[in-house]
Amino acid sequence: MRQALINKRKEMKMTQKETSELIGVSLRMYQYLEQGKREGKGWIWDRISKTFATDQSILRQIVRK
């Protein structure tokens, strides 16, 4: 899981669907990004980091449980 990404989205009071539409990816792709199942292209992380005003290196970190 990418907990920082999930936390930022929830902090912004956005759903996964809203976030995926805003950054221009499918809902499934965004879900995979949050789950750490997909790495994602650089442009996706650029858009996410701009949307959440957070460095993408923080958002990309995968936390293993």
**Structural tokens at position 28:** 């499934």
29/53 Cα distance (integer angstroms):
21
Please give the DSSP secondary-structure letter assigned to residue 53.
T
Domain extents in the chain? 3-59
pLDDT in tens, 22-59: 999 999 999 999 999 999 999 999 999 999 999 999 99
64 pLDDT above the threshold of 90: no
What's the predicted TM-score (pTM) here? 0.92
Buried b / exposed e along 14-29 (16+ C-beta atoms within 10 A): beeeebbeebebeeeb
CATH class of 3-59: mainly alpha
